[in-house]
Amino acid sequence: MLPTCASCFPGGQYVVQPAERVFIIRNMSVAHDAPMSTRSAHVSKRPSRAGRDARAPVAAGAASAAPALVPAVERAVRLVDHLAGLRRPQPLAELAKALGLPKSSLHGLLNTLVALGLATRSERGEYALGPKPVQWAGAFGQQSGVVAAFDAAAAELPALREETIMLAVLDGAEVLYLACRPGTRALAVNFRVGGRFPANCTSSGKAMLATLPVERVRKLFGGAALVRLTRHSTGSVTALLRQLGESRAQGYAVDDEETAEGMHCFGAPVFAAGRDEAVAAVAVSLIKASTSARRRDEVVTAIRQLAARVSQRLGA
């Protein structure tokens, strides 16, 4: 059986594509409990005017629960994040409906973003993400210590040279990919820098979740059923916690056809100085049917070595 084709996109879309079908799952709400300062540009929906007016004033000297957001900046970031998650350009009316913003103010925001290269406008009046974020992504990669550590450590392990390896961080209940080094072996899974997948489905996500307290994991996913990308995906928090216990015991996590059928992935946590919780995770993806038990064991050992070397470069 050929492996399913899966792709991850910015903005919370996961595309799982079997032979003749495409499923797009839009993540409607993402918590922000990421254990490191590197965060995506996703911003939760702005509260209603009634909700803002009902907030109690903060007592003098008391620390607020969350930093105050500049409304104009928050709306602009939310718009850019929405454009990043689109599968096709959208006209003004659709954008206004999706974001719950007046057309007049949204039109002004879009004109500004187009002028700055953050958005594009077609002759048909449809909007899409512009080229400017690509420059920012490159700058982030150059400035990020964890990405630099990953790039350096990955070059030192010949056992992983033929395989596709990824670096991800935890962003709420999702993993966010910061780096991906394609291997020489063809894969049916398309991992993209800036892309996302449900953390409960991926080996990198489970590797990081396994380092969190159980109550943090429960709070992260709530009482709702977990997002499932294949029939093998974990469907409940109880089952996920069992998997996390196994991951802690063996030092790595497994994605056994949970992100895409036919794929076998292994992930290991990355730590930084003074941190008991993982700040990132590295993972490798294999085609299950063509991977021998011996090769699987070699790759598991290598991905754990990669995690250890990245952690060492971060001072752990």
Hey, what CATH topology would domain 49-55+66-130 get?
Arc Repressor Mutant, subunit A (1.10.10)
- pLDDT: which is higher, 206 or 64: 206
CATH of domain 5-36+144-313: 3.30.450.40
As a whole-number percent, the residues of the chain with pLDDT over 90 amount to 51
Residue whose token pair is 């952690």: 311
Where do the domains of the chain lie?
5-36+144-313, 49-55+66-130
- Per-residue pLDDT tens over the stretch 210-263: 999 999 999 999 877 899 999 999 989 999 999 999 999 999 999 999 998 888
The three-class DSSP label of residue 170 is strand
Asked if residue 32 has pLDDT above 80, the reply is: no
Confidence of residue 59 (pLDDT cuts 50, 70, 90): very low
Q: What average pLDDT does range 265-277 have in this prediction?
A: 92
Residue 161 to residue 183: CA distance in whole angstroms: 6
Tell me the pTM. 0.64
- Give 225's contacts (C-beta < 8 A, 6+ positions apart): 235, 236
What's the pLDDT score for residue 135? 72
Rounded to whole angstroms, how far apart are CA atoms 179 and 154?
11
Neighbours of 232 (CB within 10 A): 16
| Phi, then psi, of 313 in degrees rounded to 5 | -70, -20
Give the pLDDT mean for 90-98: 94
When mean pLDDT is compared over 93-97, 272-276, 289-293, the highest value belongs to: 93-97
Query: What pLDDT shows up at residue 139?
Result: 64
pLDDT at 66: 64
